[in-house]
Structure 1
Amino acid sequence: MGKTIAILVARLIFGGLFVMAASFKFMDMGATAGYIAAAGFPLPLLLSWIAAFFEVGLAVALLSGAFFSEASLAAGVYVIFLAFAFHGPNRWEGNQAEFGFFVDHFTFLAGLLFAFAHGPGEKLSVNLGLLRRPA
Structure 2
Amino acid sequence: MGRTIAILVARLIFAGVFLMATSFKFIDMQSTASYIASAGFPAPLFLAWVAAFFELALALALLTGAFFSQAALLAGIYVIFLAFAFHGPGHWSGNQAEFGFFIDHFTFLAGLLFAAVHGPGETLVVRDNRLRTALR
Normalising by structure 2, what TM-score?
0.94
Aligned to 2:21: 21
Aligned to 1:81: 81
Pick the structure with more helix per residue. Answer: 2
Shift of 1:8: 0.1
Aligned to 1:126: 126
Instruction: Provide the aligned length of Structure 1 versus Structure 2.
Output: 129
Normalising by structure 1, what TM-score?
0.94
- Stretches (4+) displaced over 2 A: none
Shift of 1:94: 2.7
Once residues 25 and 101 of structure 1 are traced to their aligned partners in structure 2, the CA distance between those partners, rounded to angstroms, is: 19
Shift of 1:127: 1.0
- Counterpart secondary structure, 1:95: coil
What percent identity do the matched residue pairs reach? 74
Q: Which runs of 5+ in 1 are unaligned?
A: 130-135
Once residues 16 and 126 of structure 2 are traced to their aligned partners in structure 1, the CA distance between those partners, rounded to angstroms, is: 18
Aligned to 2:133: none
Q: Deviation string for 1:46-94 (max 9, x for gaps)? A: 0000000000000000000000000000000000000000000000003
Aligned to 2:30: 30
Shift of 1:96: 0.6
Q: Which runs of 5+ in 2 are unaligned?
A: 130-136
Letter in 2 for 1:12: L
Once residues 98 and 85 of structure 1 are traced to their aligned partners in structure 2, the CA distance between those partners, rounded to angstroms, is: 12
Aligned to 1:132: none
Once residues 49 and 6 of structure 2 are traced to their aligned partners in structure 1, the CA distance between those partners, rounded to angstroms, is: 32
